[in-house]
A and B are shown apart, each in its own frame.
Chain A
Amino acid sequence: AQSVTQLDSHVSVSEGTPVLLRCNYSSSYSPSLFWYVQHPNKGLQLLLKYTSAATLVKGINGFEAEFKKSETSFHLTKPSAHMSDAAEYFCVVTRGNSGYSTLTFGKGTMLLVSP
């Protein structure tokens, strides 16, 4: 079984400051991990994906995440927040590279960006 814990339901930052969204996972298998973003009244967009290659994964819009097996973490970071980054972010785990797997979502972290 797998599970995901997003440690913060809301994170508030000022524009131009760093972003850190925290995620811990639990998985009985070698996991694939994802971050998705959902803007208001929009669908889910894939930000980045980890699948046992490089532990530091770069995604779209300047986001990146580092897979740390010893800490079972997959935190999402961005050096400088932009107003357009305000959205809800979901950390997601699946079974791994064994083919098709259903996704297990965290509860989400709402990122608020103030001017």
Chain B
Amino acid sequence: GAGVSQSPSNKVTEKGKDVELRCDPISGHTALYWYRQSLGQGLEFLIYFQGNSAPDKSGLPSDRFSAERTGGSVSTLTIQRTQQEDSAVYLCASSASSDTQYFGPGTRLTVL
């Protein structure tokens, strides 16, 4: 079956612009996670959605970062007023009833 998909695969933007990154989880997976992978910081948790519960936003680095999950499926990560330090690969993962997470290919964000 289809895995986790993310779009776009690459995004280049100018400092100060807003960007939206999209994640389509595996069908039927109720949990969805966003992570960021950057040089020097490794892989960091950003935000986590589980069903209809309030999301766990404890990993978001600043209030410029936000995420939504509509209808319990697709999620959008929004970064406002992008900074150069936001350049990274943003990874989405989803999981079903266990804690095994399946990752998408990521979106590479470059802020000029």
A residues touching B (Cβ–Cβ < 8 Å)?
32, 34, 36, 42-46, 49, 51, 90, 94-97, 99-108
Contact = CB atoms under 8 A, between A and B. Distances in A.
Tell me which of A42, A43, A51, A97 has the highest count of chain B C-beta atoms within 10 A of its own C-beta: A43
A89 B48 CA distance: 23
B50 interface: yes
Given A101-B99, A102-B33, A43 B104 contact: yes
Contact of B56 (A49, A97, A102): A102
Q: Majority SS of interface residues in chain A?
A: loop
19 contacts: A32-B99, A36-B103, A42-B105, A43-B4, A44-B93, A44-B103, A51-B99, A95-B99, A97-B98, A97-B99, A99-B99, A100-B31, A100-B95, A100-B99, A101-B99, A102-B33, A103-B33, A104-B45, A105-B43
B8 interface: no
Contact of B42 (A44, A51, A108): A108
B31 A107 contact: no
Contacts of A51: 98-99
B99 A90 contact: no
Interface string B90-101: 010101001111
Top-8 shortest CB links A-B: A105-B43, A44-B103, A43-B105, A102-B45, A100-B31, A43-B103, A107-B42, A100-B50
